[in-house]
Chain A
Amino acid sequence: MEPILEVKDLTKKFPQQGKGDFLAVDHISFRLDRGETLGVVGESGSGKTTLAKLVCRLTEPTKGSIRLWGQDITKAKGKQLRKTYQNIQMVFQDPVSSFDPRQTLGAGIGEYLRNAGIAKGEVQARVTKLLEQCGLEAEFARRYPHEVSGGQCQRAAIARALAVKPEILICDEATSALDVTVQRQIMELLWQLRDSQGISYLFICHNLALVQAFCHRVLVMRQGKIVEEGTADEVILHPKTEYARILADSVMETELLVGEP
């Protein structure tokens, strides 16, 4: 299969006061095939969010390259970057803070549509359709981010990311802030989108049970490096490193709570 996304030697150094630079992402390389779901697991602070933001070009990489459909987007700017965002979208870890507190959810989704060249009169109908696709009533378009629950806000965030029909969706712990039932609803939504639209996911999560159920392949990150890589079953059921084994222990505890695909 052809890789839709190819990342090579991606590195991000944050300058630290006093001490030397802090390597948040350390020479990471991976590829994502079309329709594939790649899980990224790792403890808190291992650089998962930084990696996701690097791939979307929301932070500037220190080194390395990102290729989308074979085209280098590492230095993309302005128009090219905006075009890239028609293909790559991201769902943030904290849904509420990913919406402007002074705008309604509908306005936030509308911004994506208007920039994508949808006519003004058509925007509202499209917003309604997107919200319904994610299981929210049209009425939610008029609500402010602080007026909806975390799960509803996350659905709106997913609806927003889907507005431009991306080929790659990066989910940064899209379900971590939510309780188990809502988590399950969101996962069902993501599943359904994968089946119906063939979206490829970069699925960041620290819940290995979810990862095992949802992902084809898994990267295990620790301190900015990939320490283990393989199919979901390999990594979770037969971990090669001690670190992956410790992470895998959490599966047993939460297995029962997660639905089957």
Chain B
Amino acid sequence: MEVAGARKKKAWKDRRKCRLVLFLFLTFALLFVVIFAERFCPYDPNLQDMSRSLQPPSLAHPAGTDRFGRDMLSRILIGLKTSVASALTLVVIITVTGTAAGVICGFCGGILDSAVMRMADVCLAFPGLVIAMAIAALLNGGITSAVIALAAVSWPKYARIARSRTLTLKSADFIAAARLAGSSSAQIILGHILPNSLGPILVTAVLDIGAMLMELAGLSFLGLGAQPPTAELGNMMSGGRSMLQTYPWVVIGPGIGIFIAVVIFNLLGDAVGECLDPRGRQEKPGNYINRKGENP
């Protein structure tokens, strides 16, 4: 029984690992395409040629051309690069600021903690995208202001997670032992608190990449992010939306680009979460029987 259970568990774990490896591979493939996007472009994405405008997909232009006769495939590739790069930047910014704020607040407590956490509560109470739209509109447009706007409303989630982890860890005996070791607060935060709270934060961050990609594209679609002629998937869809019925490839192409990127990042997030989730580790056959026994 036990051996079979263990083998089953191992197989299950292997499958999870396989999924992780597969999605990591897909992510790296995506990142590779994005990083070397210029090399993959068959044409200059900004080269206008009115004589070839709005051509349907063909061998010469696999994704067709847009209103100005620019090659859609090249623009999608460059747009994907803009979108992915800004989404990754955004996630790094909110992970770092949110975690720093949460850990420091949790560790120090007091007025600073109350003040920062009330601010976080306010951010979480309102629909984030609406505030982000307001902020992006106040700033003078461009993908940078969209990133800043989304960063301003998205850090509280990380601050919350980091703070609650810090509060739990703060009362642990090994932190007391580190104090007895003569370590300063900064040493304790960097050496013990951060390494022990990074797991859940990283999972959240990876899961967030897809969502942030969508929100950035959303802001751009509304004209609050990247401005034409910058190629960005959101504003490319927005620019072509009036032609959806007559020249659908102008909208569908960038849509597929966003779809693929978001799906890959979300699958990766799920796989990472599964592999790091402590519940997965506790799920031993014995536990399962126990739980069933208690609850017939």
Which residue numbers of B lie inside 8 Å of A, CB to CB? 172-174, 176-184, 187, 191-192, 195-196
Contact present for A56 and B180 (CB under 8 Å): yes
A82 near B: Cβ within 8 Å?
yes
Chain A to chain B contacts (Cβ below 8 Å), 17 pairs? A53-B176, A56-B176, A58-B176, A82-B184, A85-B180, A92-B173, A92-B177, A94-B173, A99-B174, A100-B174, A100-B195, A100-B196, A102-B196, A108-B174, A111-B178, A112-B181, A115-B181
Contacting residues, chain B, for A111 (C-beta < 8 A): 178, 181, 183, 191
CB distance from B183 to the nearest CB of A (A): 6
Query: Helix, strand, loop or mixed for chain B's interface?
Result: helix
A237 in the interface, Cβ–Cβ < 8 Å?
no
- Tell me which residues from 98 to 118 in chain A have a Cβ below 8 Å from any Cβ of chain B: 98-102, 108, 111-112, 115-116
Residues of B within 8 A of A29 (CB): none
B85 to chain A, nearest CB (A): 32
A115 to B174, CA, bound (A): 16
Most A CB contacts (10 A, CB to CB) among B173, B179, B196 go to: B173
Known A97-B174, A98-B173, A98-B177; further 11 A-B contacts with Cβ < 8 A: A56-B176, A82-B182, A85-B182, A92-B176, A100-B178, A101-B196, A102-B195, A111-B178, A111-B191, A112-B180, A112-B181
Residue of A nearest to B175 (CB): A100
Give B199's nearest chain A residue, CB to CB.
A102
Chain A residues lying within 8 Å of B176, measured Cβ to Cβ, are 53, 56, 58, 90, 92, 98
The residues of B that contact A164 with a CB separation of less than 8 Å are 182
A115–B182 contact, CB under 8 A?
yes
Number of interface residues of A (CB under 8 A): 27
Contact B182 A100, beta carbon cutoff 8 Å = no
Contact B174 A112 (CB under 8 A): no
Shortest CB distance B196–A (Å)? 6
User: Would B177 and A85 count as touching, CB distance under 8 A?
Assistant: no
C-alpha gap A130/B63 in the complex (Å): 69
Which residues of chain A are within 8 angstroms of B195 by Cβ–Cβ distance? Answer: 100, 102
Q: Find out whether the CB atom of A116 lies under 8 angstroms from the CB atom of B180.
A: no
Closest Cβ neighbor of A78 among chain B residues: B184
Nearest residue, chain B, Cβ from A145: B174
List residues of chain A with CB within 8 A of the CB of B180.
Answer: 56, 58, 85, 89-90, 112, 161
Chain A residues positioned under 8 Å from B174 (CB to CB): 97-101, 108
A160 interface hit (Cβ, 8 Å): yes
Residues A160 and B183 in contact, CB atoms below 8 Å apart: no
Interface mask (A129-152 → B, CB under 8 Å = 1, otherwise 0): 000000000000000000000000
Minimum CB–CB distance for A202 against chain B, Å: 14
The docked-state distance in angstroms from the alpha carbon of A107 to that of B23 is 34
Query: Which residues of B sit under 8 angstroms from A116, Cβ to Cβ?
Result: 182
Cβ of A86 under 8 Å from chain B = yes
Q: Tell me the nearest residue of chain B to A163, going by C-beta.
A: B181
A61 to B178, CA, bound (A): 20
- Residues of the A chain whose Cβ atoms lie less than 8 Å from the Cβ of B172: 97
CB distance from B172 to the nearest CB of A (A): 6
Note all chain A residues with C-beta closer than 8 A to B173: 92-94, 97-98
Complex Cα–Cα for A90 and B175 (A): 13
CB distance from A136 to the nearest CB of B (A): 17
Nearest-CB distance from B165 to chain A (Å)? 13
- Interchain CA distance A116-B183 in the complex, whole Å: 10
B33 nearest CB across to chain A (Å): 35
A85/B196 contact (C-beta < 8 A), A58-B176, A97-B174 known: no
